[in-house]
Amino acid sequence: MAATPLHDALAPLLADPSAAAVLLDVDGTLAPIVRHADDAHVPESTRRPLIAVARRYGFVACVSGRRAAIARRIVSLGSITYVGNHGSEVLVGGASEVVVDAEVAEWTDRVRAFAAVELDREDVRRTRVRGEDKHAIAAFHWRGAPDEAAAEAVAEAVAARALEAGFAVHHGRKVIEVRPPVTMDKGIGIERQLQGRGMKVALYAGDDKTDCDAFAGLRRLVAAGELGAAVCVGVRSDETPAELEQDADLLVDGPAGVRELLNALAAAE
């Protein structure tokens, strides 16, 4: 896809910031990808323009595969909304209580019980596949394992057993998630947040396959007349999925490119 000049792509938002929504993935977009997920954070040089954007635009939210409360901790900005666990959690700006989709929440105990058994397996421990407890989602990471190929093979075996047990499975960047067999995606979460909000245009930026769901959600809102326009920004890395490049209206280079985008949005008069 031909590159679109940044300012031209942002023109619909810059024209009327009060009627524009800015939606951002967290890991790999605002926060650089790190070896251990718990070490992720948003640099202050990115937080500053994000704060300015949050003050100026009609609706600003972070949309993450992380739990909403964890995403807020990583971003460290309490005034905006966080849509977590792939659309199944919402933490409204200024609130302290996370609202969880009831159908998803019903699966939490079963997902956790499955993950506990799998993480105690000898091959999982030997290859240092790391578990992440996201309540209704169990993530199995192998980034930084001594032998990533061997760890990936073990994680794939976990995924196969999860499917046999009736769970859903999602593949990400060096991570496999075991999920409830319930529709969960960022696009649906975004639609719920934007419907009836009166926004004329919305931008979404993200770096992984799940962010294609977010792009699709915005485009559904345009097709329904809920939005006048959508800007879908893909964030490039050395692990960029082909689907993301194909679906994006605009590509930027890593979190540094997202920071440039935020600075351009923050400069709107």
State pLDDT tens for residues 40-61. 899 999 999 999 999 999 999 9
Which of the four pLDDT bands, split at 50, 70 and 90, describes residue 37? confident
CATH H-level, domain 6-101+184-266: superfamily: HAD superfamily/HAD-like (3.40.50.1000)
User: Among 121, 73, 117, 120, which residue's Cα sits nearest to residue 98?
Assistant: 73
203-253 residue pLDDT tens: 999 999 899 999 999 999 999 999 999 999 999 998 889 999 999 999 999
Domain chopping of the chain, boundaries: 6-101+184-266, 104-179
Q: Classify domain 104-179 at the CATH topology level.
A: Alpha-Beta Plaits (3.30.70)
**Cα(104)–Cα(164) distance, integer angstroms:** 19
Alpha helices by DSSP H, listed for the chain, are: 6-15, 44-56, 68-75, 102-105, 108-119, 122-127, 148-164, 186-194, 209-223, 242-247, 254-266
91-139 residue pLDDT tens: 999 999 999 999 999 999 999 999 999 999 999 999 999 999 988 999 9
Structure tokens at 171: 């593949």
CA distances from 216 to 48, 78, 152, 171 (A): 29, 27, 29, 18
To which residue do tokens 């964890």 refer? Answer: 70
Contact predicate 77/47, CB 8 Å = yes
Q: What is the pTM of this model?
A: 0.87
- Cβ contacts of residue 190 below 8 Å, gap of 6+? 23, 61, 63, 83, 87, 202, 204, 214, 217, 218, 221
